[in-house]
Structure 1
């Protein structure tokens, strides 16, 4: 359980780290390419990969209704996949480009990567929503099961709102996501059915 607690805390902490590096990267008025761009995106990539583990773990904590937990986990994982795709493209573009204008040009080359599957516009809009809805639904189910306090889902929503308003607020948004999940690392009680 100690290993899972570390993952629960590390996933949002990596988003905080990404946000801090992003602020440093933007000091000159532009984000990327360069070391800060790459390091920040690696933090974010690892954070979202860990969020995939978190979603599966949270789903396992919900005894009933299992079908709702499974749907929420699946939605969240689709959202993670959408984020990972965008982050990987950002990393590739950052590696290839010499400056910000070249990043824009190269980014256009990857707009439909990998292949024109007709889902990419949705990936940018629906993907983040699916991630939030999946994570939020699991948190609500865990509130019903008395595994999370009522304020945890509220902090999740607030964290996402803050991030959506301005990516420069990512450290604050990530901290809110972290605060929302901390109570799970402190409970060792047996699982309670959410009935």
Structure 2
């Protein structure tokens, strides 16, 4: 029961933590080592980890009773989403490590350059890898909308959240708010548009 409650809370807590990261980032003008950098990236780390049960829940709902093709599509979205979670988790960990070992922004830049110069690090954890998080989210919410298991406006709202975040990191709070609007109702199995549970036929009396 506690596990189920925690999983449902993640639909709200995940976007909220990401929004908190975006807000801390906005007020941190230095963008260098210090309490704001650490607090913000801890919020990012918490937010992305909380999306793991969200992806699992969306994937299970999208695959439920939909045949082999539906299960394959849901599984693809789930795997991509979890790969994205892993990528952003590592990225946040690197950022926290660099912040803890730096005295100023110049030192941070030097450490980032040293780490990202290793083959595969930048695409895996800073460019391509994190994109999988958003691709998986769009696929799963889109599949639920196609199945009429959620409202049709939710996939475009997810795409809008991705777009504003990609346009500027300063708009992360806006993207997080859109994700919250989309995901918060989906924490309940009876989210809008979900087909009603089958009711047993009434018994006839003689």
Taking structure 1 as the reference length, the TM-score comes to 0.87
Question: What secondary structure sits across from 1:57 in the alignment?
Answer: helix
> Do the aligned partners of 1:147 and 1:184 also contact (CA within 8 Å) in 2?
no
- Where do 4+ consecutive residues of structure 1 move more than 6 Å? none
Q: CA deviation at 1:183?
A: 2.5
Q: Where does 1:104-123 land on structure 2 (aligned, <5 Å)?
A: 104-111=109-116, 116=118, 118-123=119-124
Q: CA deviation at 1:187?
A: 4.6
- Unaligned stretches of 5+ in structure 1? none
Q: Where does 1:36-185 land on structure 2 (aligned, <5 Å)?
A: 36-62=36-62, 63=64, 64=66, 65-111=70-116, 116=118, 118-123=119-124, 124-185=126-187
Q: CA deviation at 1:32?
A: 1.8
The alignment status of 1:11 with 2:14, answered yes or no, reads yes
Q: CA RMSD in A?
A: 1.9
| More contact order relative to length (CA 8 Å, sep ≥ 6) | 1
State the distance in 1 between where 2:11 and 2:31 align. Answer: 29
- Unaligned stretches of 5+ in structure 2? 196-206
Taking structure 2 as the reference length, the TM-score comes to 0.83
- Bigger-Rg structure (1/2): 2
State the distance in 1 between where 2:121 and 2:105 align. Answer: 22
State the distance in 1 between where 2:6 and 2:44 align. Answer: 20
Q: CA deviation at 1:109?
A: 2.8
Query: How many residues get paired?
Result: 185
